[in-house]
Amino acid sequence: MARRHRRGVVALLGGLLLTLAAAPLQTTPAAANAPAAPTTEGTGMVMVLDSSGSMAEKDGSGLTRIAAAGKAVGTVVDALPAGYPTGLRLYGADKPRGCDDTRLAQPVSPLDRAGLKRAVARVRPKGDTPIGLSLEKAARDLPKPSAGSIGKRTILLISDGEDNCQAPPPCKVAAQLAKANVDLHVDTIGFQVAGRARQQLECIAKSGNGRYYDAPDAEALARQLQRAGQLSADGYRFQGSKVRGTPTKSNAPGIAPGQYLDSIGPNEKRFYAVALDEASTADFSATVVPQPGAAVGLLDSLHTEIAYGIDSTCTSATSQFGQHEGGTPLTSGISRIPSEDGTGGCDKSGQYWFVVERKAAKDSDAARWPMEVMFHVEHPLKKGVMPAQSEPEYGAGGKNAPLPTGTPKDITGGTSFNDARTLTQGVWRDKVLPSQTLWYKVPVGWGQQLRYDLEFANEPTLKDGHSASISYGGTEVYTPARVPVGWGTGEFSPHVSYNGRPASLSMGTVPVAWSNRYESGINVAPVHDKGNFYIAVTLGAKASEIAQNPQIGVVLRVAVLGKAKAGPQAGAAVVRSEADGASGSPADGRQEGTGGWAAGPVVAAVSGGTGVLLLGGLAVAFLRARKKAQSSGGGSDAMRGGSW
């Protein structure tokens, strides 16, 4: 979960006027109502199974190592979602000697459980271990993403020894694959390995932007294989149009309200040009998605800002990992909010830039990370509409708020913001893997606030019921504009230590109010619009060293407090249902426009290697009634797994 800092800057010095002397926005018309790129194309996993002579040896439980591997493969394919593209490559299975002995035993195609099990059952270990060559070929076995989409492709290597063929060097191959493919990673599982063999498998995983799993026995092999397979299948599902930000303002691609896909390297900046009017609120967010468990530092961060003129900044925010167990999705979000009196330095219409910077320590993951960028415009209230007063306090939604009790209902969390599962008030039960983040969304209306508790289950541990290892459980809550508002509240904490025994967290938001945008609190100002609020639940990577079971049970107790109002205006009536309160409609007192969440997708074009996107109608000025707040009496849900 992310630690977040926010900084507002009035950067007009000596009456400096807004400068539009920077390079003009590059724009090109986009096809109307063009569909977004499918999020599941170019996704899949190929298992690379060691079938060399050593796999015929006993594993200590009475089985041969290949028999134990066969049982483990059966376990993981039974746990994968139906239709998930999965294949199997073998090496050392066909001849006693030969460094070219590698073949695709089961092509990467919609999950064929029986076919994969039969392919493993037929293996008779006999040959050498050409790991490097097998990795090269495995990368070609996987489907490639279509233009403009980001998939998640996994090579999962299971081996009981090191490469004895020397060429090509497996660590070098893994590094080359990871560098050339931001969506591909190599995970490794060492089955009863030590010394040089383990060092090589750890090197392959690190070089391949993946993770090493140690399996000292058959039970551990089945557990680690299931974890690695499910993390691949349940990886973050991206959505958006492809864009390529630039390292400076010069030639930055222009983006319209919508969602975009890019990538970012360590200590790199990405600039995106936007045209803003003088009255609307502009919300921006960026989400980076490292491979689960990738090396990150406690202070590694994602920094966002809105820039204008030559070197001026409207506002900025920074989210930190706040832990060093391994990479998880990290989001930073900010808003350009025109001042109440219209005299602020960022109140003028014109060209601005959304800037994203990834800050990383020297020993952190060096891979490029996929990044999802969101741009949303909120139009001002209609002329004469007086907003209700701000709600900067947690009040009834504090730590001691009463929450639902009773028998939990089963739910399966989503993989990202894009397929987050809808929760309503009640008690919900799910399971989470080490290094995994689960996503949910809760509709919250005007005047309402979200409050929830998260409980991590009591689980049997690996060391005779007691584990010396300590991991963490975490949660974060995000606004409809994807701005995190769970860190630094003084009321809630987003992390709790976890060692296999019960652990719990509390989290929530202040009530939703239009006038919150003028408050200074970093967890208050973003809570200024109704809609789906997102909950992320994360289990630390070290939990894999604690729990016997592949997954850990979690329970969420969710409450939406307060009566939903019909709009943001003072004296708004209470709506009949909470669902009505969280639905979008011009009847809530806002001006109509095309910049809301329902805006159609934007199609990316390519010009000179830079994404070029339509910017239509953004320079139009909107009238806005700047009234001070006064007191008063008053999506469709997506199943996890996409198409599979």
* Residue range 311-361, pLDDT digits in tens: 999 999 999 999 989 999 999 999 999 998 878 889 999 999 999 999 999
In a domain, 641, yes or no: no
The verdict on residue 197 lying in a domain is yes
Domain that holds residue 440: 386-590
Average pLDDT in the 174-196 region? Answer: 93
Min mean pLDDT across 66-75, 362-371, 581-590, 627-636 is at: 627-636
**Average pLDDT, stretch 14-20?**
33
| pLDDT score recorded for residue 341 | 84
Residue 95, exposed/middle/buried by CB under 10 A (0-12, 13-18, 19+)?
A: exposed
- Residue 158 in any domain: the answer is yes
pLDDT tens, position by position, 48-88? 999 999 999 999 988 999 999 999 999 999 999 999 999 99
Do 411 and 530 lie in one domain? The reply is: yes
408 with 268, same domain: the answer is: no
pLDDT of res. 344: 84
CB 220 within 8 A of CB 72: no
Same domain, 167 and 289: no
Please tell me the distance from the alpha carbon of residue 56 to that of residue 59, in angstroms, as a whole number. Answer: 9
Q: Does 364 share its domain with 401?
A: no
Note the pLDDT of residue 496: 96
H or E element: which one contains 87? strand 86-91
CA distance 211 to 539: 16
Q: pLDDT at position 599, please?
A: 28
Same domain, 495 and 419: yes
Q: What is the 3-state secondary structure (H, E, C) of 558-627?
A: EEEECCCECCCECCCCECCCHHHHHCCCHHHCECCCCCCCCCCCCCCEEECCEEECCCCCCCCCCCCCCC
Per DSSP, helices labelled H in 391-544 are none
Mean pLDDT in the chain?
Answer: 84
If asked whether residues 115 and 260 sit together in one domain, one would say: no
- Tell me the pLDDT tens digit for each residue of 34-44: 233 333 568 89
Q: Is 639 part of any domain?
A: no
Tell me whether residue 33 is in a domain. no
For the packed helices 170-180 and 195-207, what is the interaxial angle rounded to 10 degrees? 10
Range with the largest mean pLDDT of 16-20, 453-457, 486-490: 453-457
Domain boundary among 189, 204, 233: 233
| Predicted confidence (pLDDT) at residue 22 exceeds the cutoff of 70 | no
**Residue 77's pLDDT is what?**
94
Q: How far apart are CA 396 and CA 491, in angstroms?
A: 12
Based on the fold, state whether residues 452 and 580 are members of the same structural domain. Answer: yes
Q: Are residues 364 and 413 in the same domain?
A: no
pLDDT of 585 above 60: no
Q: What is residue 166's predicted lDDT score, i.e. its pLDDT?
A: 80
| Per-residue pLDDT at 327 | 93
Dump pLDDT digits (tens) for 618-634: 333 333 333 333 333 33
Handedness of CA 425, 426, 429, 434 (dihedral sign): positive
- What average pLDDT score do residues 552-558 get? 97
Residues 509 and 601 in one domain: no
- pLDDT (0 to 100) of residue 616: 35
For residue 35, is it within any domain?
A: no
C-alpha span between 48 and 222 (Å, rounded): 15
Confidence check: pLDDT of 21 > 80 = no
For residue 31, being part of any structural domain is answered with: no
- The enclosing domain of 221 has a CATH number of 3.40.50.410
Looking at residue 345, its pLDDT comes to 85
- Would you say residue 441 has pLDDT above 70? yes
Domain stops at, among 233, 262, 282 = 233
Q: Which two tokens stand for residue 571?
A: 């004296």
Query: Is the same domain home to 475 and 374?
Result: no
Q: Given CA atoms 307, 312, 314, 317 in this order, what sign does their dihedral have?
A: positive
- Give yes or no: residues 199 and 51 share one domain: yes
Which of 467, 305, 476, 414 has its CA nearest to residue 635? 414
Instruction: Give the pLDDT of residue 488.
Output: 79
What is the reported pLDDT for 5?
57
Domain assignment of residue 643, yes or no: no
Q: What is the pLDDT of residues 372-384, one digit of tens each?
A: 999 999 999 999 9
Q: Are residues 190 and 242 in the same domain?
A: no
Q: Using CA atoms, how far apart are residues 484 and 370, in angstroms rounded to an integer?
A: 19
Output the six-digit token pair for 618: 């953004």
Query: 639 pLDDT exceeds 60?
Result: no
Q: Hey, which residues does 537 pair with through a beta bridge?
A: 438, 475
pLDDT band at 490, cuts 50/70/90? confident
Q: Which two tokens stand for residue 161?
A: 């020894």
How far is 154 from 90, CA to CA, in rounded Å?
16
- Region 184-194: mean pLDDT is 95
Q: What is the pLDDT of residue 187?
A: 95
| Residues 231, 436 contacting (CB under 8 angstroms) | yes
Mean pLDDT of 477-481: 98
**pLDDT for res 1:** 56
pLDDT band at residue 530, thresholds of 50, 70 and 90?
A: very high
> Which of 599 and 269 is assigned the larger pLDDT?
269
Residue 277: what residue type?
D
Is residue 636 predicted with pLDDT exceeding 50?
no
For residue 617, pLDDT beyond 50: no
Residue 561, domain CATH:
2.60.120.680
Condensed to tens digits (0 to 9), the pLDDT of residues 264-317 reads 999 999 999 999 999 999 999 999 999 998 899 999 999 999 999 989 999 999
Indicate the number of domains in the chain: 3
User: Considering the chain, what percentage of its residues have pLDDT values greater than 90?
Assistant: 73
Spatial distance between the Cα atoms of 365 and 210, rounded to a whole number of angstroms: 10
Model confidence, pTM: 0.83
233, 263, 293: which is the final residue of a domain? Answer: 233
pLDDT of residue 589: 57
Specify the pLDDT at position 600. Answer: 31
